[in-house]
């Protein structure tokens, strides 16, 4: 079939005829769009051929644009009432014109769907001709397309107003559109869309990178702090982000992003209120917000560092991994197992750092650039745990999100899934998890087609899973599937590096920055305390000590919380009143006590001496004396 439009000139003649005699030419953006469409050979008299996305592709698009949809939700909800009153729709698209959400008048939504104006359909200009969404993407400006201004004749039932949502670097994040019937005048639509986009772009600039300065300005001081203010973000003297109002007020374009700012607009300004002038010399009012003060922290002494930090990880705070040589070896094994696709179970008491260990393994493996998804199996509500793990389809149950949910297992795609407290997972769900691990696919709640998944797996528990299997509280087949290799993290009281560990954790608190130090007796008491909460409890205690200390103070035993100093060395029970034994009998009792202490602590002289309340050298000397006597 020969195209009814072969050149821009014949196109324009035909469109003028469509408008009727005496009708003025459309605005320049519409004319430019028609010319582009004609150059592509689009036939304006036919219905455009548009293929909507499949359900799998649509879910992927929703996941990619979840942050955008969340940012725009308040403005979409605000526009919803106006759209319903005028019989229209609020439409959000991604950066390519793919419709993500529509909200508004139900009856008009049905008519709009007849021309494919619905989620999952791309409305780029090359596919759907002149339209507010696609033309705004190309023009990078607000565009209104009314009735017959649409390129394709079936779209003449629409009157649309759209505006690009721009990021701090000028990149298009998406399009916000207000569409209604062509027969109803929508004179206010473009203004409403513009206000909504201002609010969205203003909110995007709330997330300022650390160490940057923010300049807020406007001609009217009363509008500072509102979405109408201009905003520019500086890193040193470079502009690294802005909104369109800020650039316009200073006579700049988007090419200024990344460039060095001139003196009066850049780093020469001191934080506080400002009086500026725009490019025309008119007064501007503004405020420069300086970067937040960096946290005060002093590096740990070099002698305390070797052998404690996991490879490739920094130490920003007390929760960063501090691993002794034995745990370093366990970590290296866990990484090799992850690389081979073999699950690992990490066992240990509360606070021993099971999740920290898992994060260190993730950071050291080939999947480090992909997600780390942690799931606390004990914290998920039993009625929703299946939907949380495997996701669900739209309408799968009452209260389900409109577009369904991906599920935690699919969020870990390509990365590492960490199932914490796996021993608390209900038996009814264990079979579903086993199937997902065996088949490497998940079936969302309410779905009929399984979805492939790819992730490494680390599980953690404070329970004895093997005993739970024997008692019937944990499925044996799941246990053998997830636990081909088990890592046991030692409790803090059994770690041989406790003094150095205390020094390392203390170096990460705010105390050293204020010249607060620990006395030797205080450090020894902290190292010798039992710490039933393990590393987490010790780190919290050190934070409390640092917060309560005065600058320059040396903390002694009296600064420790109740029970810490007393628990370091258990006090001996009061002696029973009895006749004084002979000297030989005393030696026998002492030797028996030392032998029993050494046996109880596996031959570890330091622990045995601590339990007896004597020094290690004393215990060594008595042991040597006994050996010499036997010889």
Lowest mean pLDDT among 92-96, 355-359, 511-515: 511-515
pLDDT band, very low/low/confident/very high, at 33 (cuts 50, 70, 90): very high
200 with 280, same domain? no
Q: How far, in Å, CA of 507 to CA of 496, rounded?
A: 19
- Would the pLDDT of 137 be above 90? yes
- pLDDT attached to residue 316: 34
pLDDT band, very low/low/confident/very high, at 622 (cuts 50, 70, 90): low
pLDDT band, very low/low/confident/very high, at 460 (cuts 50, 70, 90): very high
The SS3 assignment for 172 reads strand
Domain CATH number, residue 150: 3.30.450.40
The pLDDT tens digits of the residues spanning 522-534 come to: 988 898 888 888 8
- Would the pLDDT of 512 be above 60? yes
pLDDT band, very low/low/confident/very high, at 574 (cuts 50, 70, 90): very low
- pLDDT attached to residue 537: 87
- pLDDT attached to residue 588: 59
How large is the average pLDDT for residues 327-336? 89
- pLDDT attached to residue 615: 61
Is position 44 within any domain? no
Hey, what are 59's tokens?
Answer: 């879910």
Lowest mean pLDDT among 32-41, 204-213, 257-266: 257-266
Residue found by looking up tokens 């293929």 in the block = 51
- pLDDT attached to residue 611: 64
Name the β-bridge partners of 260.
238
Domain CATH number, residue 600: 1.10.10
- Would the pLDDT of 323 be above 90? no
- pLDDT attached to residue 383: 59
The pLDDT tens digits of the residues spanning 162-194 come to: 999 999 999 999 999 999 898 887 778 888 899
Q: How far, in Å, CA of 236 to CA of 213, rounded?
A: 8
- pLDDT attached to residue 535: 86
- pLDDT attached to residue 138: 94
- Would the pLDDT of 294 be above 50? no
355 with 481, same domain? yes
**Among 183, 204, 225, which residue terminates a domain?**
204
Closest CA to 380 of 416, 417, 348, 421: 421
pLDDT band, very low/low/confident/very high, at 135 (cuts 50, 70, 90): very high
- pLDDT attached to residue 536: 84
322 with 378, same domain? yes
The packing angle between helices 132-139 and 28-39, to 10°, is 100
Strands of 152-291 (E only): list them.
Answer: 158-166, 172-181, 213-218, 230-235, 238-242, 272-277, 283-289
- pLDDT attached to residue 628: 46
Which of 584 and 28 is assigned the larger pLDDT?
28
Q: Which long-range contacts (CB under 8 A, 24 or more apart) does 17-24 make?
A: 18/148, 18/153, 19/148
SS (H, E, C) 383-432: CCHHHHHHCECCCCCCCCCCCCECCHHHHCCCCEEEEECHHHCCHHHHHH
Which of 314 and 354 is assigned the larger pLDDT?
354
- Would the pLDDT of 251 be above 60? yes
How large is the average pLDDT for residues 134-156? 91
- Would the pLDDT of 123 be above 60? yes
Q: Are 469 and 481 in contact (CB under 8 A)?
A: no
Q: Are 203 and 219 in contact (CB under 8 A)?
A: no
Is position 284 within any domain? yes
CA quadruple 123, 129, 131, 134: dihedral, nearest 10: 50
**Can you say how many angstroms the Cα of residue 22 is from the centroid of all Cα atoms in its chain?**
58
Is position 4 within any domain? no
Question: 362-372 burial string, b = 16+ CB within 10 Å, else e?
Answer: bbbbebeebeb
Backbone angle region of 502, left / alpha / beta, with phi > 0 → left and psi within -120 to 50 → alpha: alpha
Contacts of 467 (CB under 8 A, 6+ apart): none
**Among 263, 289, 315, which residue terminates a domain?**
289
User: Rounded to two decimals, what is the model's pTM?
Assistant: 0.48
Closest CA to 159 of 187, 195, 122: 187
How large is the average pLDDT for residues 200-227? 84
Element (H, E) at 372: strand 372-376
How large is the average pLDDT for residues 375-391? 74
Lowest mean pLDDT among 68-82, 255-269, 352-366: 255-269
Total H helices, total E strands in the chain: 23, 19
Which residue segment(s) compose the domain that 173 sits in?
55-204
Residue found by looking up tokens 């799941």 in the block = 478
In percent, the amount of the chain with pLDDT more than 90 equals 19
The pLDDT tens digits of the residues spanning 189-213 come to: 888 899 999 999 998 888 777 778 8
552 with 517, same domain? yes
Is position 439 within any domain? yes
474 with 560, same domain? no
Is position 8 within any domain? no
260 with 323, same domain? no
Which of 145 and 44 is assigned the larger pLDDT?
145
CA quadruple 423, 425, 427, 429: dihedral, nearest 10: -140
483 with 506, same domain? no
- pLDDT attached to residue 587: 55
Domain CATH number, residue 501: 1.10.8.60
Q: Are 340 and 455 in contact (CB under 8 A)?
A: no
Lowest mean pLDDT among 84-93, 231-240, 374-383, 576-585: 576-585
438 with 320, same domain? yes
Is position 299 within any domain? no
164 with 228, same domain? no
Name the β-bridge partners of 608.
none
In percent, the amount of the chain with pLDDT more than 70 equals 76
Contacts of 624 (CB under 8 A, 6+ apart): none
Across 145-154, 160-169, 394-403, 543-552, which has the greatest mean pLDDT?
Answer: 160-169
Angle at 276 between CA 275 and CA 281, to 5 degrees: 135
Which of 597 and 504 is assigned the larger pLDDT?
504
The pLDDT tens digits of the residues spanning 386-444 come to: 777 888 877 666 555 666 778 888 888 999 999 998 988 888 788 888 888 888 888 88
Lowest mean pLDDT among 51-60, 298-307, 464-473, 495-504: 298-307
Is position 66 within any domain? yes
Q: Are 432 and 424 in contact (CB under 8 A)?
A: no
CB atoms within 10 A of CB 464: 13
- pLDDT attached to residue 378: 75
Average confidence score pLDDT of the chain = 78
Altogether, the residues listed in the chain come to a count of: 631
Lowest mean pLDDT among 15-24, 70-79, 219-228: 15-24
196 with 139, same domain? yes
**Among 438, 467, 487, which residue terminates a domain?**
487
Hey, what are 607's tokens?
Answer: 């622990």
Is position 102 within any domain? yes
- pLDDT attached to residue 79: 86
How large is the average pLDDT for residues 313-326? 53
Backbone angle region of 563, left / alpha / beta, with phi > 0 → left and psi within -120 to 50 → alpha: left
Domain CATH number, residue 456: 3.40.50.300
- pLDDT attached to residue 568: 53
CB atoms within 10 A of CB 451: 18
How large is the average pLDDT for residues 506-513? 79
196 with 232, same domain? no
- Say how many domains are in the chain: 5
- Would the pLDDT of 320 be above 50? no
Closest CA to 549 of 507, 512, 523: 512
593 with 483, same domain? no
């Amino acid at each position: 079939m020969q195209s009814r439009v072969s050149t821009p000139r014949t196109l324009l003649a035909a469109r003028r005829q469509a408008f009727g005699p005496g009708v003025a030419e459309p605005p320049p953006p519409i004319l430019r769009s028609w010319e582009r469409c004609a150059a592509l050979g689009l036939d304006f008299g036919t219905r455009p051929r548009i293929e909507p996305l499949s359900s799998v592709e649509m879910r992927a698009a929703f996941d990619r644009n979840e942050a955008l949809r969340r940012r725009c939700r308040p403005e979409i909800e605000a526009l919803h009432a106006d759209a319903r009153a005028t019989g229209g729709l609020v439409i959000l698209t991604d950066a390519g014109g793919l419709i993500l959400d529509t909200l508004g008048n139900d009856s008009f939504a049905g008519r709009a769907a007849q021309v494919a104006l619905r989620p999952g359909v791309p409305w780029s200009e090359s596919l759907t001709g002149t339209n507010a969404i696609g033309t705004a993407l190309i023009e990078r400006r607000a565009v209104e397309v009314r009735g017959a201004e649409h390129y394709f004749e079936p779209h003449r039932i629409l009157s649309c107003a759209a505006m690009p949502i721009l990021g701090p670097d000028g990149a298009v994040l998406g399009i916000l559109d207000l569409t209604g019937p062509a027969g109803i005048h929508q004179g206010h639509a473009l203004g409403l869309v513009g206000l909504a986009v201002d609010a969205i772009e203003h909110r995007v600039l709330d997330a300022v990178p650390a160490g940057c300065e923010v300049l807020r300005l406007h001609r009217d001081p009363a509008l500072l702090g509102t979405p109408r203010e201009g905003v520019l973000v500086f890193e040193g003297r470079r502009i690294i982000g802005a909104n369109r109002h800020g650039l316009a007020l200073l006579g700049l374009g988007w090419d200024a992003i990344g460039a060095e700012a001139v003196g009066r607009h850049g780093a020469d300004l001191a934080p506080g209120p400002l009086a500026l002038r725009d490019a025309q010399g008119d007064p501007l009012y503004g405020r420069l917000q300086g970067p937040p003060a960096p946290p005060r922290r002093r590096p740990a002494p070099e002698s305390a560092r070797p052998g404690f930090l996991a490879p490739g990880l920094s130490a920003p705070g007390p929760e960063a991994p501090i691993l002794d040589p034995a745990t370093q070896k366990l970590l290296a094994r866990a990484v090799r197992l992850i690389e081979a696709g073999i699950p690992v179970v990490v066992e240990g008491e509360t606070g021993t750092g099971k999740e920290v260990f898992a994060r260190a393994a993730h950071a050291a493996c080939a999947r480090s650039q992909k997600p780390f998804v942690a799931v606390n199996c004990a914290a998920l509500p039993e009625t929703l745990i299946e939907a949380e793990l495997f996701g669900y389809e739209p309408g799968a149950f009452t209260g389900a999100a409109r577009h369904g949910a991906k599920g935690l297992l699919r969020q870990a795609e390509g990365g590492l899934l960490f199932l914490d407290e796996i021993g608390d997972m209900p038996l009814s769900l264990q079979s579903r998890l086993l199937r997902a691990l065996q088949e490497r696919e998940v079936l969302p709640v309410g779905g009929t087609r399984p979805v492939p998944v790819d992730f490494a797996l680390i599980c953690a528990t404070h329970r004895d899973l093997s005993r739970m299997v024997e008692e019937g509280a944990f499925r044996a087949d799941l246990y053998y599937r997830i636990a081909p290799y088990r890592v046991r993290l030692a409790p803090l009281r059994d770690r041989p590096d406790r003094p150095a560990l205390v020094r390392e954790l203390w170096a990460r608190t705010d105390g050293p920055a204020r010249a607060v130090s620990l006395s030797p007796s205080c450090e020894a008491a902290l190292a010798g305390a039992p710490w039933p909460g393990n590393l987490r409890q010790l780190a919290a205690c050190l934070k409390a000590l640092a917060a309560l200390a005065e600058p320059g103070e040396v903390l002694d035993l009296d600064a420790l919380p109740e029970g810490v100093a007393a628990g370091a060395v258990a006090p001996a029970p009061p002696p029973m009143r009895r006749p004084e034994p002979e000297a030989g009998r005393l030696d026998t009792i002492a030797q028996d006590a030392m032998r029993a202490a050494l046996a109880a602590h596996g031959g570890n002289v330091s622990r045995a001496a601590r339990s007896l309340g004597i020094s290690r050298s004393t215990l060594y000397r008595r042991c040597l004396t006994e050996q010499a006597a036997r010889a």
